[in-house]
Structure 1
């Protein structure tokens, strides 16, 4: 079987040459499909369908290229598009009377959009916002080329025929695909990074919460019990040092701490203590 030269997808053809190339690809694709439908040899049929796939790889890559720079690696998008092309080749009904590309392009585009929907979001916004973002992407470049600058949200809303508030909400959610790095400077190069402005956990927060909860219960304890708690948990004394301070044995301090902690647990479990 003769091989068919695969056209390069990156060739910068003039419009007439590109049209000629598309027409040639379409004719050759139809010939290959017709031959695959006519043959009774499964191996030959597989070779013909594989040639159809290779011939139309530039089409799949062209569809994928329309979705680049949106937070997903170009190689991943191209891979999804090529796989969708393979599915389209296998599912195409030669007897439908339609051109293959009229079936393949929507199939590839649908698979790429589905990949965005299922895999692209870091934080998944509502489906309505996702659909509006897709619409924005479709008209944004066209508007930019027409007016010579980035379109305003109001211009995008007018082009899509939707409310300005919906466009603004969708634009605000754009970072859900690819959030900014915490290492990105907040201004010029050399400025502090975004991460430096994030709050850290306050080590005193837990202690403050514990004091707020335990305060009413601790206030009900005898003075010596409160003294033992202060020496142990605020001053950090050992049981031996506490025993010397209050004039008892270390064993007695251990028993006292066990009993005090038990009393505190019971106090916290009692209705109306530290509650609303």
Structure 2
């Protein structure tokens, strides 16, 4: 990407002097400025910016008119195409400035936007009567958004959630300006007419640009890594395989013996309590338990 943009822009040259339109003839204008102020210094910045924009649009129209009659791949076509790219780079920088809060190097964003500008130049048809900046801006912005969606995010979120996150971010800035403080989730939801759960999901999606290792040390607080703070020994973890094995063996016992084992080892009842529960003697409960253990040991596939 960098090589294509660099080669295209570096190959561009300004149009020849004889191709530039001659200034309109007319009587010289009298300067109304004082001796201490030159005409250039008296021009307001906004007026100067509008003049540069008009000059860029006029140059763009002239270059597209010239490009239409050139054969693609020829040196002249390459020269005029490069001049169009160079003349409209301020449009790319303007579009890239909208993404300055994404914590990405602005040079990378401008390069991606320049790819969108090149695509817009190759597809633009001057005969449709549309100004080139109006046609090119969606293409440039779309290319930048695609870059963030496909290459920057560590965790890819659904497209609808990503688009809604943009609206939540914009509403947050507007409400912060209005209230002079950070808005609550309920205020953002009311502004966008969505649920608070959707706002919370969007905020979480906005944090998915970069992932941090659980083993990375926390900066600034002096605490160990997140894994060391979240990890703990589960006392029931070792019994998972045992419970699965017992569940497989219990189904092989008669129903009454299954109930006796459940009362003894899951309900923690004594043999005398079990005998009172079932209406049998304690000795009979003891014999049933012993017989059940013998059957379980003989059916245990691990011991076998």
Structure 1 stretch 153-162 or stretch 59-68: which is displaced more? 153-162
**What is residue 125 of structure 1 aligned with on the other side?**
157
User: Is the counterpart of residue 34 in structure 1 residue 65 in structure 2?
Assistant: yes
Structure 1 residues 216 and 44: alpha-carbon distance in aligned structure 2, compared to 1, 3 A threshold: closer
Please say if residues 217 and 267 of structure 1, whose CA atoms lie closer than 8 Å, have aligned partners that are also in contact: no
Question: Per-residue deviation at 1:118?
Answer: 2.7
**What is residue 135 of structure 1 aligned with on the other side?**
167
**What is residue 92 of structure 2 aligned with on the other side?**
60
Over alpha carbons, which structure has the higher Rg?
2
**What is residue 241 of structure 1 aligned with on the other side?**
none
Please report the TM-score for the alignment, with normalisation by the length of structure 1.
0.62
Structure 1 residue ranges without an equivalent (≥5): 5-12, 219-262, 269-276
SS of structure 1 residue aligned to 2:99: coil
Please give the alpha-carbon distance, in whole angstroms, between the structure 2 residues aligned to 1:198 and 1:118. Answer: 31
Please say if residues 217 and 223 of structure 2, whose CA atoms lie closer than 8 Å, have aligned partners that are also in contact: no
Please give the alpha-carbon distance, in whole angstroms, between the structure 1 residues aligned to 2:45 and 2:178. Answer: 21
Please say if residues 29 and 55 of structure 1, whose CA atoms lie closer than 8 Å, have aligned partners that are also in contact: yes
The one of 171, 183, 189 equivalent to 2:203 is 171
Question: Per-residue deviation at 1:175?
Answer: 1.9
The one of 7, 11, 14 equivalent to 1:3 is 14
Question: Per-residue deviation at 1:172?
Answer: 2.6
The one of 90, 108, 131 equivalent to 2:122 is 90
Please say if residues 71 and 120 of structure 1, whose CA atoms lie closer than 8 Å, have aligned partners that are also in contact: no
**What is residue 110 of structure 1 aligned with on the other side?**
142
Structure 2 residue ranges without an equivalent (≥5): 1-11, 16-43, 250-298
Please say if residues 63 and 108 of structure 1, whose CA atoms lie closer than 8 Å, have aligned partners that are also in contact: yes
Question: Per-residue deviation at 1:149?
Answer: 3.6
Deviations 1:228-276 (A, max 9, x none): xxxxxxxxxxxxxxxxxxxxxxxxxxxxxxxxxxx965878xxxxxxxx
Question: Per-residue deviation at 1:93?
Answer: 0.7
Question: Per-residue deviation at 1:53?
Answer: 0.8
Please say if residues 132 and 170 of structure 1, whose CA atoms lie closer than 8 Å, have aligned partners that are also in contact: yes
SS of structure 1 residue aligned to 2:182: coil
Question: Per-residue deviation at 1:131?
Answer: 1.4
SS of structure 1 residue aligned to 2:102: coil
User: Is the counterpart of residue 185 in structure 1 residue 218 in structure 2?
Assistant: yes
Please give the alpha-carbon distance, in whole angstroms, between the structure 2 residues aligned to 1:127 and 1:217. Answer: 45
Structure 1 stretch 112-121 or stretch 58-67: which is displaced more? 112-121
Question: Per-residue deviation at 1:107?
Answer: 0.8
Please give the alpha-carbon distance, in whole angstroms, between the structure 2 residues aligned to 1:38 and 1:216. Answer: 82
Please give the alpha-carbon distance, in whole angstroms, between the structure 2 residues aligned to 1:77 and 1:159. Answer: 30
**What is residue 23 of structure 2 aligned with on the other side?**
none
Structure 1 residues 58 and 45: alpha-carbon distance in aligned structure 2, compared to 1, 3 A threshold: same
Question: Per-residue deviation at 1:165?
Answer: 3.3
SS of structure 2 residue aligned to 1:176: coil
